Structure 1
Amino acid sequence: MRFSLSRSLPGISAHDEGRAEITRTLPEEVPVAVVYDGTTHAVMMASPGDIADFAYGFALTEGVIDSLDQIEGFEEQCHEAGIEARFWLREDRQEALAARRRFMAGPVGCGLCGIDSLEQANRALPHVGDMSLRLAHREVARATDDLRAAQPLHAKTGATHAAGFLVPGQGIIAVREDIGRHNALDKLIGAMARQGISAADGAFVLTSRLSLELVQKCAMAGCPVLIAVSAPTAHALRLAEGAGITVVAFAREGGFDIYSHPERITSEVTDVA
């Protein structure tokens, strides 16, 4: 069986003028179990699309794998209760898997549910120190508008997040959507890895606030710039500063704030095809 991304359901719209029967298109969410060598590692609520991208991205950002050649097999199994993303890993990844194991069943709003220790919440991150990437002011200012134009599920439901990849001079070349902001970024990272697109060559653009989990995923993927429509947390900024990541927030209506490593954002105009 396959799950639909959305469903039209009846409701009642209530206003000062009265009530009226309506039909709304609403996003679906299903449990997605990520399984490694027969053992469930995590269960996340997610939109039931691009599951392989999500699973690959999750494996990379959680440190279960460092590269795709450490995966010996993958399959997606749909059940009445949800979806299983099943991996078979190289034998040498078992120790890393045990170190990062988490058992989660819960809300998409929390990216740290069920981790084993406080130390894992503040784990050391790779340093994204390459300062060669440059993004022009104009393409950063329009990034979230361009991302919104590439969100068909949000256009239908008004209730999903998205993550996009912005390449200087090319615009946003890849987008993934999900009910959860963490899931959307994992889907994007997985899709890029499977297509051989280097995260070092551009910026992640997000339709959400920036919390530490998103900075962690950005660092694990090796992306030097995060652009978000909303605010960062103070802890996320401390983490980004230490990891060498440029954080751009409140990117909307033609303006934005830069909070760390501003040298990657220039005032020069780069034409975007």
Structure 2
Amino acid sequence: MSEKIRILRYIEGKTFPDNDEIVIEEPLKLTISYKNISRTIYIMRTPIDDKELAIGFLFTQGIIKKLEDVEDVIQDKNSITVILRNPFSFERELLVNSSCGICGNPTLVKILSRKFDIKVNRDILMQIPKKMINLQKIFLETGGLHAAGIFDSNGNPIFIEEDVGRHNAVDKAIGKLLLSNMDSSNLILQVSGRVGYEIAEKAAIVGFPIISAISAPTTSAVELCDFVGISLVGFVRGNKLNIYTHPERII
């Protein structure tokens, strides 16, 4: 989703008017409802795949445990209401910023260490970022979006999602995975930027064995991935990559 605006472009000492495609960022009003109880959150996001964003967000925040917890989803422009079958508790901030997601939230998710059988060739991991960027339709028009992709162990793309927010893109991809009733235990989560604690936490909750990123991880992301058994790979660029945790899966 983008819109064209007039700009002044400066190239090699020359200034001239031109058109540019700018990514649209709008607030999504997300209302969580159970009987006569409701809570509203505003998420700054790219206005595509709002249902997937809502489902993925509620799942990674522990508000729903499975897709069956959702009774109905009612959508309108820039507004979505998720009606739940069971009571819920939600104590996070009402505004979720597109750039920092749920940063600052003190609640820690208790996750048991998992064991995964997947093994992935490092050459496959190095090919995934190029595959993903070629499938980022809006990014190719604007250059202004993050992406999250879910790939199989052979590097084949399953879902690619885009958003101005890194966390939103991950939630959208997770939402699609849940709505498709797919198992995450043999899949790779690829992200277009850095990996902070929140993205590692989302991956751990869903059960991804491998996170691959174009940029760097944070120390807290490394610690979490090490604890829960996720292979964390960063700086995947060209013919290089760094393996931060559980290298036994990267062959």
* TM-score bucket of the superposed structures, by smaller chain: over 0.9
Q: Which residue of 1 aligns with 2:17?
A: 21
CA distance in 2, matches of 1:244, 1:114: 24
Task: From 141, 146, 149, give the equivalent of 1:164.
Answer: 149
CA contact (8 A) 1:104 1:114 kept: no
The alpha-carbon distance between structure 1 residues 29 and 67, as it changes in their structure 2 partners (threshold 3 A), is same
**Matched length:** 248
CA contact (8 A) 1:41 1:103 kept: no
Match of 1:259 among 230, 244, 251: 244
Contact 1:125 1:219 in 2 (8 A): no
1:19 deviates by: 1.6
CA distance in 2, matches of 1:128, 1:224: 11
Q: 1:262 to 1:114 in 2, by over 3 A?
A: closer
Alignment partners' CA distance in 2, 1:138 and 1:77: 43
Q: Do structure 1's residue 142 and structure 2's residue 127 form an aligned pair?
A: yes
Q: Which amino acid aligns with 2:188?
A: A
Match of 2:85 in 1: 90
Deviation at 1:114, TM superposition (A): 6.9
Q: For residues 108 and 44 of structure 1, do their structure 2 counterparts lie closer, same or farther at Cα, with a shift above 3 Å needed?
A: same
Structure 2 CA distance, aligned partners of 1:114 and 1:85? 25
C-alpha distance in 1 between matches for 2:92 and 2:31: 11
Structure 2 length as normaliser, TM-score? Answer: 0.94
Residues 196 and 217 in structure 2, CA contact (< 8 A), matched pair in contact too: yes
Deviation at 1:246, TM superposition (A): 0.8
- Judge conservation of contact 2:124–2:155 (CA < 8 Å) in 1: no
The 3 A distance-change label for structure 1 pair 128 and 172 is farther
Do structure 1's residue 248 and structure 2's residue 247 form an aligned pair? no
Structure 2 CA distance for partners of 1:114 and 1:246, relative to 1, 3 Å: closer
Paired residue for 1:107?
97
Of residues 126-135 and 239-248 in structure 1, the stretch that sits farther from structure 2 once superposed is 126-135
CA deviation after TM superposition for structure 1 residue 106, in Å: 5.0
Percentage identity across paired residues of the two chains = 26
Q: 2:113 and 2:173 mapped to 1: Cα distance?
A: 18
Equivalent residues in 2 for 1:10-159, closer than 5 Å: 10-15=6-11, 17-37=13-33, 39-78=38-77, 83-91=78-86, 94=87, 97-98=88-89, 100-105=90-95, 107-113=97-103, 115=105, 118=106, 120=107, 123-159=108-144
Give the drift of 1:177.
0.5
Shift of 1:25: 0.7
How far apart are residue 138 of structure 1 and its match?
1.3
For residue 219 of structure 2, the aligned residue among 226, 234, 246 is: 234
SS in 2 for 1:124: coil
CA deviation profile, 1:219-249 (whole Å, cap 9, x unmatched): 1111111000000011110111111111000
2-structure distance, mates of 1:39, 1:22 = 46
Alpha-carbon deviation of 1:18? 3.1
Rounded to whole Å, the distance in 1 between the matches of 2:103 and 2:151 is 30
Point out the more displaced range, 126-135 or 183-192.
126-135
* Displacement after TM superposition at 1:127 (Å): 3.1
SS of 1:205's partner is strand
Match of 1:176 among 161, 174, 179: 161
CA distance in 1, matches of 2:160, 2:113: 22
Structure 1 alignment gaps of length 5 or more = 267-273
Counterparts of 1:159 and 1:47, CA distance in 2:
11
Deviation string 1:85-120 (CA, Å, 9 cap, x unpaired) is 2111112xx2xx32x3323325311122574xx3x1
Question: Taking structure 1 as reference, are residues 69 and 235 closer, same or farther at Cα in structure 2, changes over 3 Å only?
Answer: same
Q: Structure 2 unaligned segments of length 5 or more: list them.
A: none
